[in-house]
Amino acid sequence: MTFLLIAHRGASAEAPENTLAAFDLALEQGAKALELDVRLSADGVPVAIHDATVERTTDGHGPVAGHTLAQLKALDAGSWFGPRFAGERVPALEEVLVRYRGKARLQIELKSEEVELPAGVAALVRQHKAEHDIILSSFIKAQLERARPLLPEVPLAWLVRRFNNEVIQEAAEAGFQSCCQPAALVTAELVREAKARGLTVVAWGVRSVEELGRLVGCGAVAATVDWPDRARKNIERKFAGPARPSTRSG
């Protein structure tokens, strides 16, 4: 049984999301895959940050798209989470590719609407020969469709907020490899339906280890989690099974 745990924005329960500190920690904890959110800076550089504005996760103000890479790099992306992370920076996607390629699968979420974003990401992926290390995900179907001809060998995962037969059909017709939906909506029946249409099911928004266990039982292949360490230990326990009965007669 392989179930892929994807560290959501890194080990984001324990370190500031979408920073090298969070990604490094996830790897130290044994994560084999990292999720990051990517947007464009004002000068067109793909950077790892979730929100459209910098307020929540840095000491700056205003839209990400209103900052050049140099201006984003001047911000503190760690202190909001805790003083020991002071000085963490907003990583450029390129830094992430260079640092983790070959060490972890990267689920790169095309977060923003800019039509130039898929091409910017694809160029870096080609430049760093990371085609076989990544998955591209997005809630924005058009971004995945823009990425496909640029990186035809890269799996595409469509993020949705609902899960039903219509979504499965739409994802299959679009030629995506996975559909990703809130953990609470995943059922064994829908996973079967998705598989029959050639799609794997990835869950997001997992709230507990119990829910993670339920997802595995339903046949989902992966989930993004903020706490990869706890999740891994729990999954390993689950698949270790009960202790083997002794073969000794006494």
- Catalog residues that contact Mg ion under the rule CB under 5 A: 37, 109
Position closest to Mg ion via CB: 109
Q: Are strands 105-110 and 46-48 parallel, antiparallel or unpaired?
A: unpaired
List the one residue out of 162, 207, 208, 153 whose CA is nearest residue 187: 162
CB 23 within 8 A of CB 100: yes
Q: How far is the CB of 117 from Mg ion (least distance, A)?
A: 14
Contact set for ligand G3P, span 49-108 (CB under 6 A): 50
Among 224, 225, 229, 231, binds ligand G3P (CB under 6 A): 224
List the one residue out of 139, 137, 146, 93 whose CA is nearest residue 118: 146
Query: Which residues are CB-contacts of 54 (< 8 A; sequence separation ≥ 6)?
Result: 60, 61, 62, 63, 64, 67, 72, 75, 90
Output the six-digit token pair for 240: 């270790």
List the one residue out of 135, 192, 147 whose CA is nearest residue 174: 147
Among 5, 11, 14, 35, binds ligand G3P (CB under 6 A): 35
Cβ-based nearer residue to ligand G3P, 25 or 180: 180
Output the six-digit token pair for 57: 């996760």
Q: How far is the CB of 37 from ligand G3P (least distance, A)?
A: 5
Q: How far is the CB of 109 from Mg ion (least distance, A)?
A: 4
The residue annotated as part of the active site, out of 8, 61, 67, 132, is 8
Q: How far is CA 145 from the centre of its chain?
A: 18
Phi, psi for residue 11 in degrees, rounded to 5: -80, 70
What residue has token string 């490899």? 177
Among 100, 158, 176, 204, binds ligand G3P (CB under 6 A): 204
SS (H, E, C) 47-70: EECCCCECCCCCCCCCEHHHCCHH
What residue has token string 């260079």? 98
199 binds ligand G3P (CB under 6 A): no
CB 106 within 8 A of CB 80: no
Contact set for ligand G3P, span 12-31 (CB under 6 A): none
Cβ-based nearer residue to ligand G3P, 110 or 130: 110
Q: How far is the CB of 203 from ligand G3P (least distance, A)?
A: 8
Catalytic residue flag (residue 50): yes
Question: Cα–Cα distance between 190 and 188 in angstroms, integer?
Answer: 6
Catalytic residue flag (residue 67): no
Cβ-based nearer residue to ligand G3P, 50 or 101: 50
Q: How far is the CB of 35 from Mg ion (least distance, A)?
A: 6
Cβ-based nearer residue to Mg ion, 37 or 226: 37
Among 136, 159, 191, 194, binds ligand G3P (CB under 6 A): 159
Residues contributing to the site for ligand G3P (CB under 6 A) = 8, 35, 37, 50, 109, 159, 180, 204, 224
Which residues are tagged catalytic? Answer: 8, 50
